[in-house]
Structure 1
Amino acid sequence: MTNWVRWLHRLENGVLTVLVLILVALAGAQIFMRNVFGGGFSWADPFLRTLVVWTAMLGALAAVRDDKHIAVDVLQRFLPAGAQRAVRILTLLFAAGICAALAWYGWGLVSVDLDGGAKSDFGLPNWLLESILPVGFGLMAVRFVLRAFATPAHVPGLSAPELLHDTGCVNTGDEGPAR
């Protein structure tokens, strides 16, 4: 992996981390202010909803980047290696197509608000806040295409405990439960 790609991954992770921290801090402040003072910031709830959308999109983008997105591969692991590869390519290209369509329709939503000039409760233009939809889905489409032809980052058939407690070898069941 080149240095600029590594730098981009760090930047993505950093932005995602900052957004989550702001989300948690602001939500906590709202709860505190409501319980102690009987009210909070008037702009905070719509801002939190926007942050949730941005965080979800950036998190999904990072999941696709790292090949950790949700995938139903229960049937795929029973196929021969060549068929597994073909099915993986087809499913990832299908996901790319869905993301491309969502990017297209997201752009339609953004363009409506771009023409309308509406602003959010906290002063930013709605089109700017919604821009994560076409950008995020567009980038996910590109990443799904790249992932389709890249080596899988995970081993099909591993269960969650094996992934969480990686000991460097696959548990075949003969050694007892993974710890």
Structure 2
Amino acid sequence: MHDAEVDLRAYRAEDWLAFVLFALLGATVFYQFFTRYALNDSASWTEEIARYFLVAIVFIGAAIGVRKNNHIQVDYLYRVLPAKPMRVVATVVDVVRIGFLGTCAVLTWQLIGRIGASRMAVVDLPMGLVYGAVLLGFAAMTWRAIDVARANWRRAASVLEKPELADEVHP
């Protein structure tokens, strides 16, 4: 009896980055636990760093959700509209999503320019590192939203119009 081959081609850069960040978060929390309960002398920096790893994981992980179309969606209109208006609504949703995420990326870039040099409370590192992870997440979400929109336009349907498309390979 053999195990099935593992196919790593389905994973993209944001998957691997989220994995590495999650491993670092786990190691940081373990170190915090160990120093607090085994050594009875908690490392103060671990709480802050763990929090910022979690922020980075959320925004990088959100790009995975955009790529896979796994975010919460309201599908009522898609069930009651005829095909042509439904296609128009789906296209508008794609364009608005790209615009929103792109705007968030630009605003985050501007925020980094204004307050990115401020320092973290416990660790003497710039907050720009944290906001940089948020910017990377928004940029990746925008990029993946463009990929999803292009795929929707090529096949003339989105996952909300045809739920069976959710099983296709993601860009």
* TM-score for the superposition, normalised by structure 2: 0.73
In structure 2, the partner of 1:174 is none
CA distance in 2, matches of 1:8, 1:122: 36
Q: Provide closer, same or farther for how the CA distance between residues 119 and 7 of structure 1 changes in structure 2, counting only shifts above 3 A.
A: farther
In structure 2, the partner of 1:143 is 144
The two structures, once aligned, show a CA RMSD in angstroms of: 2.9
In structure 2, the partner of 1:10 is 12
Secondary structure, counterpart of 1:75 in structure 2: helix
In structure 2, the partner of 1:122 is 123
In structure 2, the partner of 1:131 is 132
For 2:149, the aligned partner's letter is: A
In structure 1, the partner of 2:4 is none
Q: 1:145 deviation in Å?
A: 3.1
- Answer whether contact 1:100 1:141 (CA < 8 A) is retained: yes
* TM-score for the superposition, normalised by structure 1: 0.70
Secondary structure, counterpart of 1:150 in structure 2: helix
% same residue: 27
- Answer whether contact 2:14 2:61 (CA < 8 A) is retained: no
In structure 1, the partner of 2:36 is 34
Gaps of 5+ in 2: 1-7
> How many equivalent residue pairs?
153
**Higher relative contact order (Cα pairs below 8 Å, separated by 6+ residues):** 2
Q: 1:144 deviation in Å?
A: 1.9
CA distance in 2, matches of 1:57, 1:90: 24
